[in-house]
Amino acid sequence: MTRPLAITLGDAAGIGPEIIAKAFRDAPDLTRGCFVVGDAATLRRATQLIRREGEAVQSLVLLDSAEEALSAPPHCLPVLQVEALAAPVPFGRISAEAGRLAGRCVVWAAQAALRGEIAGLVTAPLHKEALAAAGAPFDTFPGHTELLQAEAAAFLGQPVSELPVRMMLANDELRTVLVSIHVSLREAIEAVTVDNVLQTLRITHAALASMLGRAPRIAVAGLNPHAGEGGLFGREELDIIAPALTQARAEGLDVQGPYAPDTVFMRARARDGQAGEFDVVVAMYHDQGLIPVKYLGVEKGVNVTLGLPLVRTSPDHGTAFDIAGTGQADASSLIEALRMAHRLSDARSQRLEVG
């Protein structure tokens, strides 16, 4: 690695610090050259929490710069302290202090990535209510995606509306990209417009073409049961989604649909070593796309933000306040997010070299 990867702390009251410590302990090859943007005391608590009987507590190494992570000694946890908590936050409780720290870590890592100082960032889970409780500027963002979008737009000197982003959730069996993200179901339905669907198809095509090295086969889910059944159960498929697909095909994109939402994900699923019928499914709203991927195993899923001028991945689960502090959290999804971030950052570096 020529540039390190940053892992943001997430909410200190949740499982983020614990799964980060477990990733450094259990996946040394993937975490080599990585560092944590966060609070050293919170991470020390996490290392003590996961210590096995007869095993020494992981050592922390405090960094003065991101670059130092590349030369950090093996089997340690490198930390770049962004802001220190005045006192440890209780596990499993919404805390404005934890929300503010989580937001500050994301902003620091995003700005470092935009400046080219790090190869990308992997974000541990933050809690949306805690982020809102932190107050300005974080209370205006529903989550990571919107915060990163705002930081990138500001860096580029353009309005947020000119930097559209999308969420992709992926595992080794299925990928799905969402037309809308963190909005109510009513707002999500209203967001199904020709422009939004077409924009999602363009972003999906560009991102997957880069990842796969070829044009992706994109399936599009309908909004209504049975994809509207020819207008019997709603006309969005006929009046909105189909015209967007026609325009996408005219631009050379390999898109098909709209298909019945209750079967298209099965058609796209890869299993038993065989590729699915499609490389990705574009879903109309959050739960329509995320439930199928998460049902296949939360421990395998990775969240990737498409459309940003930086690499960002995250585990596909939340802060899990109900088990925070128990030592039971599974780091598998974070480890997969690290693996994906390495792949994406390598691909991005190669594109920049060729360009």
Asked if 215 and 280 count as a contact pair (C-beta separation under 8 A), the reply is no
User: Average pLDDT of the chain?
Assistant: 94
State pLDDT tens for residues 48-77.
Answer: 999 887 777 789 999 999 999 999 998 899
Q: Which domains does the chain have, with CATH numbers?
A: 1-164+302-355 (3.40.718.10), 172-296 (3.40.718.10)
Percentage of residues in the chain having pLDDT higher than 90 = 86
Query: Using one digit for the tens of pLDDT, what is the confidence trace for 83-111?
Result: 899 999 999 999 999 999 999 999 999 99
The pTM is what? 0.91
CA-nearest of 150, 6, 144 to 79 is: 6
The answer to whether residue 148 scores a pLDDT higher than 70 is yes
Q: What mean pLDDT do residues 136-164 have?
A: 94
- Count the Cβ atoms, other than its own, within 10 Å of residue 153: 18
Alpha-carbon gap, residue 99 to 10, rounded angstroms: 8
The count of C-alpha atoms lying within 13 angstroms of the C-alpha of 148, restricted to the half-sphere facing its C-beta, is: 31
**CA torsion through residues 144, 147, 153, 159, sign:** positive
- Report the sign of the C-alpha dihedral through residues 272, 345, 154, 206, in that order: negative
